[in-house]
Amino acid sequence: MDSEDTIDIENLDDNKFYGDAEKYWKNISPTVDGMLGGFSHISSTDIAGSTKFLHLFVKPPGKTNKVRALDCGAGIGRITKRLLLPNFSHVDMVELNQDFLDEARHYLADNASRVERYICSGLQNFTPDERRYDVIWCQWVLGHLTDEDLIGFFRRCQHGLSEQGVIIVKENTTAVGTTDFDTTDSSIIRSKNAMEEIFKKAGLRILKEEKQKRFPKEIYDVYMFGLQ
């Protein structure tokens, strides 16, 4: 979650970019601390902020239904367990690492039966079923997509939303006009402005946005966006 190197993301070698990320996650332990890169102590603060933001859409006067959500880059299911299952009847998980999905069935315990689909796929290759999801939740994963693939992913997700459904993005952001590249896990950290430009290119509009509060000063600013 700390900044690394600057890089020209327009000239990334896609095979190396995606391959290096896959290799990194294959060597990460299937634990909450592993999912959060050693920052497991922020998990409760993170979930509290996400819950408050989610409730803007799924509680009156919000109009989003609470039937089914999708957890993107789900890992072992930290967000599924603590945020989505308490608010939705059913959840699907999409995750590149099959070992994480296997561990999720144990981590979720009795709630595992409410996860309808454990989907092993990178988001650049994933297409949701049409009109299936009330909320598509994307957190700390979109940096693993190139700009072009991220725009394509968002366009496909729009078709996956139910009526009044929303895409919620929660990501690290850099200062305006800068882009960082984390060589450790092969991920891009974009500025808030760059994210907003990608939303626009994908045909999405921002319904609400909010900065996550009470995170340590040494990590990136984290913003949440509600999109349609």
Res 35: pLDDT: 97
pTM for this entry: 0.95
Domain ranges, ordered by start, for the chain: 5-126+133-227
Long-range Cβ contact pairs of 44-51 (< 8 A, separation 24 or more)? 45/212, 45/214, 45/215, 46/212, 46/215, 47/79, 47/82, 47/83, 49/210, 49/212, 49/213, 49/214, 49/224, 50/79, 50/83, 50/139, 50/170, 50/224, 51/83, 51/86, 51/87
Residue spans of the chain under pLDDT 70 = 1-10
Res 8: pLDDT: 63
Res 192: pLDDT: 97
Q: Per-residue pLDDT tens for 35-93?
A: 999 999 999 999 999 999 999 999 999 999 999 999 999 999 999 999 999 999 999 99
Is residue 166 helix, strand or coil? strand
Beta-carbon neighbour count of residue 61 at 10 Å? 6
Residue 156 marked in a binding site? no
Res 7: pLDDT: 60
Looking at domain 5-126+133-227, its CATH superfamily turns out to be: Vaccinia Virus protein VP39 (3.40.50.150)
> For residue 109, how far is the Cα from the chain centroid?
22
Res 148: pLDDT: 97
Residue 123 marked in a binding site? yes
Residue 56 marked in a binding site? no
